Amino acid sequence: MDRIAIEERGIPGFELMQRAGRAAFAELLDRWPSAKCISVCCGKGNNAGDGYIVAGLALELGLAVQVIQIGDSGELTGDAARARDWARSLGLQAVDGPDAVLSGEVIVDGLLGTGISGALRPAYAKVVAAINAAGRGVLSLDIPSGVAADSGGVASDAVRADVTVTFIGRKLGLFTGPGVSLAGEVIYASLSVPSDIAHAVPGCPLLRYAEQEPLPPRDRNAYKQSQGHVVIVGGDRDMGGAPLMAGEAALRMGAGLVTLITREEHRPAVLARRPEIMVVGADSDSAREQALARATVLAVGPGLGRGDWGLGLLREALALGKPAVLDADALHGLVALSPQAGESPLVASPVIVTPHPGEAAVLLGSTTAAVQADRPAAACALAQRVGGVAVLKGAGSVVAHHENGLRGVCAHGNPGMASAGMGDVLSGVIAGLLAQGADLGHAAALGTCLHSAAADLAVEHIGQRSLLATDLLQPMIELLRGSQ
């Protein structure tokens, strides 16, 4: 996008750098209006040039400015060198890093930009550690130094910013994985670059609930069987709440019928809370087989357990070849049923899998750290592994399709969702949408956005620490009603 703006639209690179510096400095003044002294940490690329512009603007306004330069500033070239020379013309003198003591009330991170790969070099790592230990406000330019722009992963260490001002294009790494928390609040500055430039560059959509295509209105002649029958399989001993939450979520999505195949002992509790749900004892062969035969969509995994009981139910459900949402212990069961890694998908039926990073690592034969280091790539690999759609849960949930690659990154969600049952509710939401005719990709994207957007609404009244999975049901109802 930079290249198109400069070479094809005739916007000088130094002009873009000046705009970036002005946008970042305006945010600094707005965020820390009483600051009298700032420290600007610069590396040797264009990110450093942005830093020198910020430093010069601060000096012109009468602020005390400390610039810490990593490496020889004489190695700066092109527009970054022009920015350095302009700042010098104002009387600014840089201090050699990485051992300089940070003196600013606010620290501006202009060390590294979008081109980072691999671990930080020792000098940069030392300054990053000093920034994080300083206990002061931190503003990162474009992306926190150390965060991979395309994945949100961190190879070694990275700056923990309070705010990141990102320029021209939003970087995927700011919206998923570790990059989400490291970036702080993300402020987008277009730098007045024509908006059509963004459409000329392939990207990964940021999925927002309001922009997802809703389900079509119900036919006036609708009846319950026409709205699909979700059969949820799970709930081993001590885990009866999981399929119940999934079942209630599926009903609230509009599924016409919901049946739980679970331990018989859970029947009283299910019917006491939600009498609209049907319950079939999993140990009754005839009742179980009839329920599975009636299913439009299966949701397997909530509270399933990893013993023989759950594994047998998973095997039977998958043999039907029906559309399915697989989560939690069903994902471990997939690996147990297909232990040999190969190129053929793990599942023959159309499926959506919804793993958290640990479960994703099991499916991929990898590690949680590797999954988190490149969540977009992991989501695509998961979709390929199962031959369907993958929703890699976590900060910035990633949706990927086995044929079309990345569908997008969810723009909603908050840390309050780190509590029991959230995944069970999501399984029910997606299954309920599938049952009403949504295709795999649509159901996964719409369901993920609805679930996370509802959580954002819920925390406005409940707060993050007290948020429960079932607290999402009422805001989901409100969001659905607003889209009809």
Domain ranges of the chain: 2-203, 209-483
Domain 209-483 architecture = 3-Layer(aba) Sandwich (3.40)
Residue type, 87: A
Q: Give the side-chain half-sphere CA count within 13 A for 289.
A: 3
Task: State the pairing for strand pair 389-392/398-401.
Answer: antiparallel
* Stated pTM of the model: 0.93
CATH of domain 2-203: 3.40.50.10260
Per-residue pLDDT for the chain (484 aa), expressed as one digit of tens each? 888 999 888 999 999 999 999 999 999 999 999 999 999 999 998 999 999 999 999 999 999 999 999 988 888 999 999 999 999 999 999 998 889 999 999 999 999 999 887 889 999 999 999 999 999 999 999 999 999 999 999 978 999 999 999 999 999 999 999 999 999 999 999 999 988 887 777 788 999 999 999 999 999 999 999 999 999 999 999 999 999 999 999 999 999 999 999 999 999 999 999 999 999 999 999 999 999 999 999 999 999 999 999 999 999 999 999 999 999 999 999 999 886 655 567 888 899 999 999 999 999 999 999 999 999 999 999 999 999 999 999 999 999 999 999 999 999 999 999 999 999 999 999 999 999 999 999 999 999 999 999 999 999 999 999 999 999 999 999 999 987 6
Q: How far apart are the first and last CA of the chain?
A: 38
Any residues with CB less than 8 A from the CB of 421 and at least 6 apart, and which? Answer: 241, 242, 245, 468, 469, 470
Q: Radius of gyration over alpha carbons of the chain, in Å?
A: 26
Q: How deeply is 3 buried, as exposed, middle or buried, from its count of CB atoms within 10 A (0-12, 13-18, 19+)?
A: exposed
